[in-house]
Amino acid sequence: MPELPEVETIRMQLEKYILGARIKKLEIRNKKYNLDPKHIIGQKIIGIRRFAKQLSIDLYNNYSIMIHVKMTGQLIYRGPKLKINNLSKKVIGGLDGKHTHVVFHLDNGDLYYNDVRQFGWIKIVNSEKILSDKHAPEPLKDLTLEYFSSLLSKSKRNIKVLLMDQSKIGGIGNIYANDALWLAKINPKRSSNLLNNQETKLLFDSIEKVLKSGLKFGGSSESSFVTPDGKEGEYQNHTLVYGHQGELCKYCKKTKFEKFFLGGRGTYWCKLCQI
């Protein structure tokens, strides 16, 4: 599932391609995405925001189109600002294809919403409601070390499971949780409240490091993530521990990374370094 760096990469590209455009027509191809065009037709796009893994396309009339791509949702733009037509093979069915469920026709091109598994959602909401909704603090934004320390000290859950709890911290998913814990040399199964101050600070910094690295490489496309220009991210070629089971640990160079399941999610670690 796309995490903070992937959704932020989508946001930055949408800003580049559709900010200032006007919505001319809404085409719904799948009744599951039952959107009322009344508040969006003729409206100008004045902002693109991200709240953890959710995107908000803000309109001049104070309404916003909220989108969560979940597992396999893809937002792809085509228009004069983007003439290349070579799409990633991860755009299954192509454009527009059998997995294209919604098309926003703009005055400078088209924005397609594709989703193979259809877990993603799109809603039209009042922009002010988004701000009044409670959002968990996010790394690289408003997550402070003080909040992070206090959160950890109050929880006996496995640290990795806590890091991925979107109601407590926004934007960290499985790939970056795995990499941050290896970087900080912390066992993913540790009880959160048993991390000392030094470990907590190290983990906090490691989270920022791996997310920044994810952003630098345009996100991870190990599953179905593509950016609005129809290309893939590259972080999957730069992960630290995620997906590296059987390979020698780069810290100790003695033990091979192992994989197990924690909270139902693939967990990768070095049993020698991560204590």
Residues annotated as catalytic are 2-3, 53, 265
> Of all residues in this chain, which one has the CB nearest to Zn ion in the complex?
249
Which residues 91-130 are close enough to bind Zn ion by CB under 5 A?
A: none
Name the residue nearer to Zn ion (CB basis): 56 or 239: 239
Q: Is 95:112 a contact under the CB 8 Å cutoff?
A: yes
The only residue of 251, 258, 265, 266 in contact with Zn ion, by rule CB under 5 A? 251
Secondary structure E strands in the chain: 23-28, 45-51, 54-59, 63-68, 73-78, 100-106, 109-115, 121-126, 258-262, 265-269
From CA 185, how far away is CA 51, in angstroms rounded?
Answer: 29
Q: How many residues belong to the site for Zn ion (CB under 5 A)?
A: 6
SS3 category, 207: helix
Strand partners, 49: 56
Name the residue nearer to Zn ion (CB basis): 22 or 189: 189
Quickly list DSSP for 15-78. Answer: HHHHTT-BEEEEEE-STTS---GGGTTTPBEEEEEEETTEEEEEETTSEEEEEE-TTTEEEEEE
The only residue of 131, 248, 252, 275 in contact with Zn ion, by rule CB under 5 A? 252
Q: Interface with Zn ion by CB under 5 A: which range of 19-27, 36-44, 80-88, 247-255? A: 247-255
Does the protein bind Zn ion through residue 33 (CB under 5 A)?
no
- What is the 8-class DSSP label of residue 79? B
Name the residue nearer to Zn ion (CB basis): 51 or 268: 268
Which residues 256-275 are close enough to bind Zn ion by CB under 5 A?
A: 270, 272-273
From CA 254, how far away is CA 252, in angstroms rounded?
Answer: 5
Which residues 175-204 are close enough to bind Zn ion by CB under 5 A?
A: none
Does the protein bind Zn ion through residue 41 (CB under 5 A)?
no
Does the protein bind Zn ion through residue 249 (CB under 5 A)?
yes
Kindly list the residues in this chain that would bind Zn ion in the complex (CB under 5 A): 249, 251-252, 270, 272-273
